[in-house]
Each structure stands twice: as structure tokens, then as C-alpha cells.
């Protein structure tokens, strides 16, 4: 019997979520963010299902080259830009756009001869303080880019730090800072990530950069995908491989962190942190056994988890166990495990079999 852990990828859900992004900001073109192997979903299948996006965005050049090798001819923005002149030449060769976030990159553009000028996105730091040039420098740097023969077009972008909280005033401040910094500079504007797209109408622009929402998870700390009218894309599932009875007062698993307070029926499911299920998911984290909720109990081990089936007497070996996805929001599991859906998705390992399916109707 093949090991059961698999990730079902609902391709129509990806297309649905892309339509949801367009519907939220109808005047904007969509850069579909497919970095980190399509947020762990498999970049080729994701990009294929999101073929109607206007562009892709990735974190680094390797990811862009992979898309080119797979035959995608879309504009691709590399969100961290290039690191050196050698990389810059590869950007030009593969016709890849670069985010420019520090003056060293502009110097590289100024002293390098390349065959094909690059489209660049000048990124302005409006409060995230990770990447980006200071607002006061924006105009001078734009002028340098504009005078540079290696540059074929300039967009203007910023990134929102706190848009996942609709009550946080930081976003308004960032929007004001962006408008102030770019003034009347010529170029397309791009501000919104998923939280910006769904929560901050004022963050619309010529381009939006949708990531997590495409994969069907809510970007907000206080809402679910269903409330945002998003459809989950990944369902992580496995099977029950063993069931045992524990007497009251028996400890379970590594470290004996969980102890039965009454006679209990424990199911063992074939998935663990070796598959990307989070090891720090505590006892009480929800799983679905044939569609019914049951709590994880005891420590997550590399290949297995243990589930309290005492309330599900009909559960049997071979039953389907869903860790997140259809019927069990990844947001909920992430919250219980002290993380975010982004991390759950990205951590699914190569041992898990990925299978595409055409999903249920919306």
C-alpha cells in the first residue's frame, strides 16, 4: 500500500480566487504571486491554472527562470531584484522585471551594458522598513533610473506591513506616505497584497499583487476564506493506519505530553512533520476524520500523528483524515498551531504526493 499522505490541489479554485481578486479591484491588473513554489502548491501547476493573470511575481531570479523554462511568457517581477551584475544580465536575457529597492542596484544598472533594457519597479519604503528606498529619495532615484539606458520602464511600488488588520492605522499612513513620495512621477503604481486587495479599497493601483488569497486562505487575522468568498486550493489528507484503546491515565507519544483522563480510543494517521504537518500543533488541534472533527492528541512525530477518536466510535482503519483544506480551514489550524496559512502551505514536503483535481462547483 502506498503511503497515504497527499495534497489535493483544486485548480478551478485557483481560477475562482483570481476572479475574486479582479472583482475586488476591477481597475487593476493582477500580478499573481507564485514565489516559494507557488506557496508550496507547485509552481508550474499554479502558474498554469493562473495563466490568465497579467503577470507573475516571484522572490528571486531562479524562480523566474523556472517559469520561463516552463514556457510562461508573462511579465515576471522579481520582488527582491538582482544582487549583482551577473544576475542583472540574466534578468535581461530572460526578459524579467526587477524590483529596485536600494541605490546599489541603480549603480549596477548604470554601469552595465545589457542587450535588452529592463522594466523596473522602484520600491519605496513607506513604513515596513524591510526593503525599499526612503520616501525622500524616491524622486532623485526615479530620475536616475529614467536617465539610465538599461531601464526600459519604471513602475512605482510599496508594500503594506499591517494590512491584515483592518483597524490598524498604519495602512492609512503608508498610503499617504506613498502618495507623498511619488507625487507626479510617471509610472504604474502597485501597492496592494491580498489584505490590501480585500480590505483597503484606497490601496488599489495600476497593479495588485495577490498572493495568499489565490491559494484560498484569508489574509486577515479575523476572517475565514469563506467569509472572503475564497475557495481553499490545497486539501492535505491522509489515512488512519491504526487504532488502539488506552485505559484511563495512560500517556501517549514522545514525552508523554498527553494523558488519557478516561478510557480512550486513539487513531494513528500517516502524516507528521516529515510531511510538513507542524510539529508544534498542540493537543486539541482539529483534524477531520471522514468529515467529522476530532482533536489531535500527543506530540506530532515525523511520520504519524495521534487523534482522539473516543467521540467517533464508528471511525475505522483506512478512514480519510483531513489536516486542512476542504471542510477545515487552514486559517483555523494555523491559529491553533501558532502560525499562519502561508507557513503551513510552504512547509508541505516532497514526501507528500500532489494530485490535481477539478474541484466542486463554487
Ligand X SMILES: *Cc1c(COP(=O)(O)O)cnc(C)c1O
SS (H, E, C) 246-279: ECCCCEECHHHCEECCCCEEEEEECCCHHHCCCC
* 250: region left, alpha or beta (phi > 0 left; psi from -120 to 50 alpha): beta
Q: What are phi and psi of 77, to 5 degrees?
A: -100, 125
Closest approach of Cβ 173 to ligand X, in Å? 18
Out of 5, 15, 43, 79, point to the residue binding ligand X (CB under 6 A): 79
Counting contacts by CB under 6 A, is residue 204 touching ligand X?
A: no
Q: Are strands 305-308 and 97-100 parallel, antiparallel or unpaired?
A: unpaired
Q: State which H helix or E strand residue 295 sits in.
A: strand 292-295
- Helix, strand and coil percent figures for the chain, each rounded to 5: 30, 25, 45
Out of 40, 132, 219, 272, point to the residue binding ligand X (CB under 6 A): 219
Site size toward ligand X (CB under 6 A) is: 12
Distances (CA, A) of 34 to 16, 91, 94, 150, 176: 16, 18, 17, 26, 28
The catalytic residue among 83, 254, 316, 353 is: 254
Dist. CA 216–CA 219, nearest whole Å: 9
Residue 114 vs 212, nearer CB to ligand X: 212
The number of residues making up the chain comes to 362
Q: In which residue are the cell numbers 485505559 written? A: 247
Counting contacts by CB under 6 A, is residue 50 touching ligand X?
A: no
Residue 154 vs 287, nearer CB to ligand X: 154
Binding mask 170-199 for ligand X (x = CB under 6 A): -----------------------xxx----
Dist. CA 34–CA 2, nearest whole Å: 30
Residue 204 vs 210, nearer CB to ligand X: 210
Out of 17, 210, 218, 235, point to the residue binding ligand X (CB under 6 A): 210
Closest approach of Cβ 355 to ligand X, in Å? 24
Out of 16, 144, 209, 299, point to the residue binding ligand X (CB under 6 A): 209
The question of whether 316 is a catalytic residue gets the answer: no
> Which region, judged by CB under 6 A, interacts with ligand X, from 4-12, 22-30, 148-156, 204-212?
204-212
Ranges assigned E (strand) in 26-125: 29-33, 55-58, 76-78, 97-100, 118-123
The question of whether 254 is a catalytic residue gets the answer: yes
Closest approach of Cβ 171 to ligand X, in Å? 13
Contact 192, 208 (CB under 8 A): yes
Dist. CA 177–CA 75, nearest whole Å: 27
Question: Hey, which residues between 15 and 34 contact ligand X (CB under 6 A)?
Answer: 33
Residue 79 vs 145, nearer CB to ligand X: 79
Q: State which H helix or E strand residue 174 sits in.
A: helix 170-182
Closest approach of Cβ 195 to ligand X, in Å? 6
Residue 35 vs 144, nearer CB to ligand X: 35
For residue 215, the 8-state DSSP code is G
The catalytic residue among 35, 215, 273, 277 is: 35
Closest approach of Cβ 211 to ligand X, in Å? 2
Residue 171 vs 260, nearer CB to ligand X: 171
Tell me which residues touch ligand X (CB under 6 A). Answer: 33, 35, 79, 159, 193-195, 209-212, 219
Q: Which positions are annotated as active-site residues?
A: 35, 254
Amino acid at each position: 500500500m502506498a503511503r497515504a499522505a497527499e495534497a489535493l490541489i483544486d485548480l478551478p479554485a485557483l481560477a475562482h480566487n483570481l476572479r475574486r481578486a479582479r472583482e475586488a479591484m476591477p481597475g487593476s491588473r493582477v500580478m499573481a504571486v507564485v514565489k516559494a513554489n507557488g506557496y508550496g502548491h507547485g509552481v508550474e501547476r499554479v502558474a498554469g491554472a493562473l495563466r490568465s493573470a497579467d503577470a507573475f511575481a516571484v522572490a528571486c531570479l531562479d524562480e523566474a527562470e523556472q517559469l520561463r523554462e516552463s514556457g510562461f511568457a508573462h511579465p515576471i517581477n522579481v520582488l527582491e531584484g538582482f544582487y549583482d551584475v551577473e544576475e542583472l544580465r540574466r534578468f535581461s536575457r530572460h526578459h524579467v522585471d526587477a524590483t529596485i529597492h536600494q541605490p546599489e542596484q541603480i549603480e549596477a544598472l548604470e554601469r552595465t551594458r545589457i542587450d535588452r533594457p529592463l522594466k523596473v519597479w522602484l520600491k519605496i519604503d513607506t513604513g515596513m522598513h524591510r526593503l525599499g528606498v526612503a520616501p525622500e529619495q524616491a524622486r532623485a532615484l526615479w530620475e536616475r533610473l529614467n536617465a539610465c539606458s538599461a531601464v526600459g520602464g519604471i513602475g512605482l511600488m510599496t508594500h503594506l506591513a499591517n494590512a491584515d488588520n483592518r483597524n490598524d492605522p498604519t495602512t492609512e499612513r503608508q498610503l499617504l506616505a506613498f502618495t507623498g513620495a511619488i507625487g507626479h512621477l510617471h509610472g504604474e503604481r502597485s501597492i496592494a497584497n491580498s489584505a490590501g486587495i480585500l480590505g483597503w479599497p484606497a490601496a488599489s493601483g495600476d497593479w495588485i499583487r495577490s498572493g495568499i488569497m489565490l491559494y484560498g486562505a484569508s489574509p486577515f487575522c479575523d476572517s475565514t476564506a469563506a467569509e472572503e468568498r475564497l475557495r481553499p486550493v490545497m486539501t492535505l489528507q491522509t489515512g488512519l493506519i491504526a487504532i488502539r484503546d488506552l485505559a484511563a491515565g495512560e500517556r501517549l507519544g514522545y514525552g508523554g505530553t498527553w494523558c488519557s483522563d478516561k478510557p480512550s480510543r486513539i487513531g494513528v494517521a500517516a502524516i507528521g512533520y516529515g510531511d510538513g504537518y507542524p510539529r508544534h500543533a498542540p493537543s486539541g488541534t482539529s483534524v477531520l476524520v471522514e468529515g467529522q472533527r476530532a482533536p489531535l492528541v500527543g506530540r506530532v512525530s515525523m511520520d504519524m500523528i495521534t487523534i482522539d477518536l473516543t467521540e467517533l466510535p464508528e471511525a475505522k482503519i483506512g478512514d480519510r483524515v483531513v489536516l486542512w483544506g476542504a471542510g477545515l480551514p487552514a486559517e483555523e489550524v494555523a491559529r491553533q498551531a501558532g502560525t499562519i496559512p502561508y507557513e503551513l502551505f510552504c512547509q508541505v514536503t516532497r514526501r507528500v504526493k500532489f494530485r490535481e483535481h477539478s474541484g466542486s462547483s463554487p
